[in-house]
Amino acid sequence: MNELKAKPIYLDYQATTPTDPRVVDAMLPYFYEKFGNAHSRNHSFGWEAEDAIELARGQVATIIGASPKEVIFTSGATESNNLALKGVMKFYGKKKPHLITTVTEHKCVLDSARHLEQEGYKVTYLPVQQNGLVDLEQLKAAITDETALVSIMAVHNEIGVIQPLKEIGEICRERGVFFHCDAAQAVGKIPLDVNDMKIDLMSISGHKIYGPKGVGALFVRRRPRVRVVAQITGGGQERGMRSGTLPTPLIVGLGKACDIALNEMAEENARIMELRNYTLNRFRERLADIYLNGDEENRVAGNLNISFAYVEGESLLMGIKNIAVSSGSACTSASLEPSYVLRALGVDEELAHTSLRIGIGRFTTREELDQAVDAICNEVERLREMSPLWEMAQEGIDIKSIEWAEH
């Protein structure tokens, strides 16, 4: 347990990514020398800030195949998701009060949907299949004349599965329903094109793509035009859709992060995919009774979500202190509930308690993964020796046959 004390290994790239040094370099000048308020349009300090922001707007637009005019900046993907759901439903809701989303969306989408429900809107929460993917027939069946919006994420934060965006987009466009896509985990990780995929709104995060925290964007389609009711008002920035002084350095950082991702995505993905497969194989070679959660094929390169049967996830985390991984999404991992996402996939609750999410990213090395695999496997073996469930399984006792006193 102590051999790793020296250097922590970061394998939690879905919770947040380290800021790329090139991004930091791009931001630095705007923290000091170039401090104008981008909205003070009549003096040169303001102009300089505005130029930088418009450059970034173009960089964000490019990576998703949008026009810069369709990109508005926010404080992050959570705000973008809130704005997309509430903004669209509040604009179109009188005639079309129905929203469709899935049970495995990010908490901020589900919370916004629940809030809309409390206000009287109708919400359908589609189930997902065992591999985490939406059933397109179920989606088709759920759309009614009253449906205004379908909100489905591109890449899942916990299990990394990639939804069939193009097919979803086709269905939505055909039925005259807007398609919002939470792409916080997808931008820079998979190719995205809002026109090809017929996406009408898309949420983007800075800190999930090696950019800074505290900044994100929302793509809002102009043709056919999507209208949203602003959720933060006063000042009228971002064409009235989102007020507040624009944080120039953060926006410059987001733009730079998109620019780097666009240029390096293909190469980076190949490298990360290779590391992921290598890691998964090493786990499978060494340990019995481990399960990959979420579809293995339709999956983003950097995500592994593995259940280590008979070992409780939190105790496993405690034993691998120098390795930063997550036992669920970062927002909920402080609570003791097993992941709602894994339960929605039909993963047994006892297995849901045994899962780790291992995120591989831009700065991960093979050496780090070797160390991490060794440490995790050692700890799993140690804890299995201590686990009454493992003992029963070895004795051939079916755990499900026992009547447990639930508490």
Q: How many residues bind another protein (CB under 8 A)?
A: 100
Nearer to another protein, 232 or 265 (CB): 232
- Quick check: 32 binds another protein (CB under 8 A)? yes
325, 342, 373, 380: which one binds another protein (CB under 8 A): 325
Q: How far is Cα 249 from Cα 25, in angstroms, rounded to an integer?
A: 10
98, 189, 353, 362: which one binds another protein (CB under 8 A): 353
Neighbouring C-beta atoms of residue 356, cutoff 10 Å: 24
- Quick check: 310 binds another protein (CB under 8 A)? yes
Print the binding letters for residues 55-94 with another protein: x by CB under 8 A, - otherwise.
Answer: -------------------xxxxxx-xx------------
- Quick check: 159 binds another protein (CB under 8 A)? no
Nearer to another protein, 156 or 207 (CB): 207
- Quick check: 214 binds another protein (CB under 8 A)? yes
Minimum CB separation of residue 122 from another protein in Å reads 18
67, 269, 322, 378: which one binds another protein (CB under 8 A): 322
Q: Which two tokens stand for residue 282?
A: 């090493």
Nearer to another protein, 17 or 104 (CB): 17
Nearer to another protein, 88 or 143 (CB): 88
Write a three-state SS string for the chain. CCCCCCCCEECCCCCCCCCCHHHHHHHHHHHHCCCCCCCCCCCHHHHHHHHHHHHHHHHHHHHHCCCHHHEEEECCHHHHHHHHHHHHHHHHCCCCCEEEEECCCCHHHHHHHHHHHHCCCEEEEECCCCCCCCCHHHHHHHCCCCEEEEECCCECCCCCEECCHHHHHHHHHHCCCEEEEECCCCCCCCCCCCCCCCCCEEEEECCCCCCCCCCEEEEECCCCCCCCCCCCCCCCCHHHCCCCCCCHHHHHHHHHHHHHHHHHHHHHHHHHHHHHHHHHHHHHHHCCCEEECCCCCCECCCEEEEEECCCCHHHHHHHCCCEECECCCCCCCCCCCCCHHHHHCCCCHHHHCCEEEEECCCCCCHHHHHHHHHHHHHHHHHHHHCCHHHHHHHCCCCHHHCCCCCC
Q: Which two tokens stand for residue 274?
A: 């290779």
Nearer to another protein, 197 or 373 (CB): 373
Binding to another protein, residues 380-399 (CB under 8 A): 385-391, 399
- Specify the pairing of strand 147-151 against strand 98-102: parallel
Q: Which two tokens stand for residue 88?
A: 């669209």
107, 122, 173, 282: which one binds another protein (CB under 8 A): 107
In this structure, which amino acid lies at residue 344?
A: A
- Quick check: 237 binds another protein (CB under 8 A)? yes
Nearer to another protein, 15 or 197 (CB): 15
Minimum CB separation of residue 289 from another protein in Å reads 13
- Quick check: 186 binds another protein (CB under 8 A)? no
- Quick check: 247 binds another protein (CB under 8 A)? yes
- Quick check: 259 binds another protein (CB under 8 A)? no
101, 112, 185, 203: which one binds another protein (CB under 8 A): 112
Nearer to another protein, 63 or 184 (CB): 184
Q: Which of 108, 181, 331, 377 is catalytic?
A: 331
Q: Would residue 377 show up in a list of annotated catalytic residues for this protein? A: no
- Quick check: 160 binds another protein (CB under 8 A)? no
- Quick check: 120 binds another protein (CB under 8 A)? no
Minimum CB separation of residue 167 from another protein in Å reads 26
Span near another protein by CB under 8 A; candidates 9-17, 123-131, 268-276, 289-297: 9-17
315, 340, 374, 378: which one binds another protein (CB under 8 A): 315
Radius of gyration of the chain (CA): 22
Residues with a catalytic annotation lie at 331
